[in-house]
Amino acid sequence: MNTREPAPDGRRLRVLILTGTEPLIVARLIERIGRQPHEAAVCGVLYHRLPDKSKGERVREVIRNLGRPAYFAHFARRVGDSVSAAITSLGRFLLRCLHAHFPQAGEGSYGLADLVAECRGRGRPIRVVEDIHADSTLEFVRSLGPDLAIVYGTPILKPCLYEIPQFGSINLHQRKVPDYRGGGPIGLWELLDDQPDIGVTVHRVVRRLDAGAVLKSATIPIEPYDDLTSLALKAHVVGIELLADVVADFARGRVSEAEQSGASRMFRTPDPAELRRHLRRIAVERGTYRPPRGRPIAKLVLKSLVYLPLVLARNWYRRSTGRFPVVVLYHHLLADRPHFMGIPTSLYARHVAFLRRYYRVVGLQEALAMLESGRVDAPTVVLTFDDGYRDNVLRLRAASLASPAPAMLFVCSRHLDQGEPFDHDLAADALGFEPMSWDEARELEHWGFSFGSHTRTHLDCGTTDTERLQPEIIGSRSDIEGKLGHPIEYFSYPKGLPGNISPQSIDICRSHYKWTCSAYGGVNTIDHADASWHVYRMPHPNDLLELELQIQQVLEQRPGHRLDAPDTASDVYVRGAT
Residue 196 is part of a domain; what is its CATH number? Answer: 3.40.50.170
Report whether 199 contacts 180 (CB < 8 A): yes
Give the list of residues 6+ apart from residue 308 with CB closer than 8 angstroms, or none. 98
538-548 core/surface letters (b: 16 or more CB in 10 A; e: else): bbbbbbebbbb
Are 279 and 195 in the same domain? yes
Instruction: Specify the pLDDT at position 36.
Output: 81
Instruction: Specify the pLDDT at position 10.
Output: 58
Report whether 268 contacts 184 (CB < 8 A): yes
Q: Which helix (H) or strand (E) holds 441?
A: helix 438-446
- Is the torsion defined by CA of 144, 150, 152, 154 positive or negative? positive
For residue 93, tell me if it sits in a domain. no
Give the list of residues 6+ apart from residue 525 with CB closer than 8 angstroms, or none. 323, 325, 326, 371, 531
Alpha-carbon distance of 376 to 313, in angstroms, equals 17
Per residue of the chain (578 residues), what is the pLDDT tens digit? 454 445 455 579 999 999 999 999 999 999 999 998 778 999 999 999 988 777 777 777 767 776 676 667 777 788 888 899 999 999 999 999 999 999 887 677 899 999 999 999 999 999 999 999 999 999 999 999 999 999 999 999 999 999 999 999 999 999 999 999 999 999 999 999 999 999 999 999 999 999 999 999 999 999 999 999 999 999 999 999 999 999 999 999 999 999 999 999 999 999 888 999 999 999 999 999 999 998 999 999 999 999 999 999 999 999 999 999 999 999 999 999 999 999 999 999 999 999 999 999 999 999 999 999 999 999 999 999 999 999 999 999 999 999 999 999 999 999 999 999 999 999 999 999 999 999 999 999 999 999 999 999 999 999 999 999 999 999 999 999 999 999 999 999 999 999 999 999 999 999 999 999 999 999 999 987 666 799 999 999 999 999 999 999 998 644 344 444 333 322 222 334 66
For residue 270, tell me if it sits in a domain. yes
Q: Provide the residue type at 165 as one letter.
A: P
Q: What is the DSSP letter of 234?
A: H
For residue 566, tell me if it sits in a domain. no
Are 281 and 330 in the same domain? no
Q: Which domain holds residue 211?
A: 15-52+108-285
Are 231 and 378 in the same domain? no
Report whether 44 contacts 16 (CB < 8 A): yes
Are 275 and 347 in the same domain? no
For residue 393, tell me if it sits in a domain. yes
Are 425 and 511 in the same domain? yes
Are 277 and 354 in the same domain? no
Identify the burial level of 252 via C-beta atoms within 10 angstroms of its C-beta, where 0-12 means exposed, 13-18 middle and 19 or more buried. Answer: middle
Are 362 and 498 in the same domain? yes
Report whether 154 contacts 237 (CB < 8 A): no
For residue 496, tell me if it sits in a domain. yes
Are 389 and 464 in the same domain? yes
Instruction: Specify the pLDDT at position 564.
Output: 44
Instruction: Specify the pLDDT at position 39.
Output: 86
Q: How many beta carbons lie within 10 A of that of residue 24, not counting itself?
A: 18
Are 351 and 230 in the same domain? no
Are 416 and 500 in the same domain? yes
Residue 405, domain CATH: 3.20.20.370
For residue 158, tell me if it sits in a domain. yes
Alpha-carbon distance of 127 to 111, in angstroms, equals 15
Instruction: Specify the pLDDT at position 572.
Output: 27
Alpha-carbon distance of 49 to 62, in angstroms, equals 24
3-state secondary structure of 156: coil
End-of-domain residue from the set 258, 285, 312: 285
Instruction: Specify the pLDDT at position 139.
Output: 98
3-state secondary structure of 216: strand
Alpha-carbon distance of 533 to 509, in angstroms, equals 10
For residue 101, tell me if it sits in a domain. no
Are 523 and 405 in the same domain? yes
Number of domains in the chain: 2
For residue 507, tell me if it sits in a domain. yes
Are 223 and 276 in the same domain? yes
